[in-house]
Chain A
Amino acid sequence: MKLLILIPAFNEEGAVGSVIGEVHAAMPGVDVLVVDDCSEDATRHVARAAGARVLSVPHHLGLGGCVQAGYRLAFELGYDYVIRVDGDGQHDPRDIPNVLEALEREQCEMVIGSRFVDGAQGQTSFVRAMGIHFFRAVLRPILGRPVRDPTSGFVGVNRTALALFSRSFPLEYPEIEALVVLQRKRFRFVEVPCRMRPRRAGRSTITAVKSLYYIAHVLLGVMVNVLKFEGRRK
């Protein structure tokens, strides 16, 4: 079983080193790949010094493009499972074994580390909480089942989902749209409890002002993915 821990990072020099250290402590010997989204700081050097391999994209692609680059490489290198952990320290790498265990046990295509299922610990801002409630309601009829934490970036995928996402993955705010992409293929996902922490360093790319744009963009993206013609993208 080949497992890759994928860490997308953009200007995360203050946090990415400790995240990699925690991943190695939680999962000794596992491969760690940092996808550096053309950071202007020392993210890639810090990541290398902490023992990760670094995939550097030549210009800023945004979160979706950056994660998809990692998925593409993982697929080409033959990994069976990829678990994505954010580079800002908000996800607790001690939960990685739970995500992996769920991927193997449930035989589903994707596992979401959720801060809202039983036993999870984590707090979120009021604006984000409202957004989560809104998208839960939007996604419920599309997915045909509830999803508690649709904005979580702490996700594990198996090789089947990896093959799909390496071909077709939402490019800007991918978490919610990825669920719709998954649903189109009738793939399954489960949620497992996980801890979410405040970010260690740096600033979130989603500010209060951008939240409305985020909601409009993701809503449009969800609708487009529901109606998407599969043959367009190669």
Chain B
Amino acid sequence: MDRLMNVVAVLSALLIVLVLLSIRRAHIRVEYSGSWLAAGVLLLALSRFRALQDWIASTLGLTDAPLAVLMVAGSLFLVVLYRSSMVLSNLKDSNIALAQKVAILEFQIGSLDEKVKATAR
């Protein structure tokens, strides 16, 4: 069990480092890093504090503390993925609206251009 919690601790620390490096290299925006950092910190804390694991296990009605940690980890990742889907959906809506606006503006510029050329003739 200790080995499993050590693995969770290492993976959580790696996640935190990876997110921080990604922020530094501008691969991920600060506002979208918060949920990943929170998930990493929470998992790291859970893996280090046995009393916390036991409390969560008893709250969930589980006899196995590591199983409780894995359930929390799974739930956290589901929440983060759900949030990512919301962000993606908003971005897609904005992207389509922007593409439509660009196309309409290009069309109108082209129409004005034709009118100017016709007037000049």
Residues of A at under 8 Å CB distance from B? 53, 55-59, 61, 65, 68-69, 72-73, 76, 171, 233
Q: How far is the CA of A61 from the CA of B100 in the complex (A)?
A: 9
| Beta-carbon nearest neighbor of B104 in chain A | A73
**What B residues does A55 contact at CB under 8 A?**
103-104, 107
Residue pair A69, B103 in contact (C-beta under 8 Å): yes
Q: How far is the CA of A73 from the CA of B111 in the complex (A)?
A: 12
**Which of the four size classes fits the interface of chain B?**
under 10
Give me 18 A-to-B residue pairs in the complex whose CB atoms sit less than 8 angstroms apart, sorted by A's number: A53-B107, A55-B103, A56-B103, A56-B106, A57-B100, A57-B102, A57-B103, A58-B99, A58-B103, A61-B99, A65-B99, A65-B100, A68-B100, A69-B103, A69-B104, A72-B104, A73-B104, A233-B93
**What A residues does B100 contact at CB under 8 A?**
57, 61, 65, 68-69, 72
Q: How far is the CA of A59 from the CA of B99 in the complex (A)?
A: 7
Residue pair B93, A58 in contact (C-beta under 8 Å): no
Determine how close the nearest CB of chain B comes to the CB of A224; give it in whole angstroms. 11
Q: How far is the CA of A53 from the CA of B103 in the complex (A)?
A: 13
Determine how close the nearest CB of chain B comes to the CB of A55; give it in whole angstroms. 5
Residue-wise, chain B 73-107 has the 8 Å CB interface mask toward A (1 for contact) of 00000000000000000000100100110111011
Q: How far is the CA of A58 from the CA of B102 in the complex (A)?
A: 7
**What A residues does B107 contact at CB under 8 A?**
53, 55-56, 73
**What B residues does A59 contact at CB under 8 A?**
99
**What B residues does A171 contact at CB under 8 A?**
96
Task: List 15 extra interface pairs beyond A72-B104, A73-B104, CB under 8 A.
Answer: A55-B103, A55-B104, A56-B103, A57-B99, A57-B102, A58-B103, A61-B100, A65-B96, A68-B96, A68-B100, A69-B99, A69-B100, A73-B107, A76-B104, A233-B93
Determine how close the nearest CB of chain A comes to the CB of B110; give it in whole angstroms. 9
Q: How far is the CA of A76 from the CA of B100 in the complex (A)?
A: 12
Q: How far is the CA of A127 from the CA of B22 in the complex (A)?
A: 48
**What B residues does A56 contact at CB under 8 A?**
103, 106-107
**What A residues does B103 contact at CB under 8 A?**
55-58, 69, 73
Q: How far is the CA of A233 from the CA of B97 in the complex (A)?
A: 11
Q: How far is the CA of A61 from the CA of B94 in the complex (A)?
A: 12
**What B residues does A65 contact at CB under 8 A?**
96, 99-100
Q: How far is the CA of A72 from the CA of B102 in the complex (A)?
A: 12
| Beta-carbon nearest neighbor of B98 in chain A | A58
Determine how close the nearest CB of chain B comes to the CB of A78; give it in whole angstroms. 13
Q: How far is the CA of A69 from the CA of B108 in the complex (A)?
A: 13
Determine how close the nearest CB of chain A comes to the CB of B15; give it in whole angstroms. 32
